[in-house]
Amino acid sequence: MAQTESLATTQCPCGSGRSFDACCGLALGGTAAPTAEALMRSRYTAFAIGNIDYLAETLSSEARKDFDKTDAENTAGNAKWQRLEVRAVTDGGEKDETGTVEFVAHFTLGGQRHAHHELAAFEREEGRWVYTTGQINPKEAPREVVKIGRNAPCPCGSGKKYKKCCGA
């Protein structure tokens, strides 16, 4: 808690640009996170300041079964958390029941730089946002390319065959 108190007037570790008290300090202090992104940011901050109990509390009841407190303490304590990069947010708003947040957490561990890239899934459980699962290093779906035949109508809408229009 002493580390939380010393953060009160400093910028929040999650990188939102707000003070700790006006940002993740609210969630870490017991106020329910209003969105999935706010919960994800507060979980990053909990790692950064070593608040492992908060990490356990904000897991879904299913995910909590697999939570290893000792492993989380070791990771949080040995890593130097540098910054959080939020890449995409899908749903997870104040009126939603589910949502996803794609993020990259940058840190150093054992003197080496690391990046944890995850597509995290969240849902409401008893009215509060909780972390359910995550896909590490998510990949975009492969692009699908449709081959246009020479005698097919041109996709530009000219009414001509492709070979006599854009395919020439």
Question: Residue 34: which domain range?
Answer: 20-140
3 inside domain: no
Say which residue, 2 or 123, is predicted with more confidence: 123
Assign residue 93 the CATH number of its domain: 3.10.450.50
54 lies in some domain: yes
- The answer to whether residue 100 sits within a structural domain is yes
The mean pLDDT of the chain is: 91
| Long-range contact set of residues 100-108: C-beta below 8 Å, sequence gap at least 24 | 100/36, 101/36, 101/37, 101/40, 102/138, 103/40, 103/44, 105/44, 105/47, 105/81, 106/81, 106/82, 107/79, 107/80, 107/81, 107/82, 108/79, 108/80, 108/82
Q: Whole-angstrom Cα distance, residue 66 to residue 81?
A: 23
Instruction: Convert the pLDDT of each residue in 115-154 to its tens digit.
Output: 999 999 999 999 999 999 999 998 876 777 778 887 888 8
Give how many domains the chain has, as a whole number: 1
Q: Has residue 50 been placed in a domain?
A: yes
pTM of the model: 0.79
pLDDT digits (tens, 9 = 90+) for 22-64: 999 999 999 999 999 999 999 999 999 999 999 999 999 999 9
**Is 33 inside any structural domain?**
yes
Within a domain: residue 56? yes
* Higher per-residue pLDDT: 13 or 154: 13
Query: If pLDDT is split at 50, 70 and 90, which confidence band does 4 have?
Result: low
- Position 1 scores a pLDDT of 44
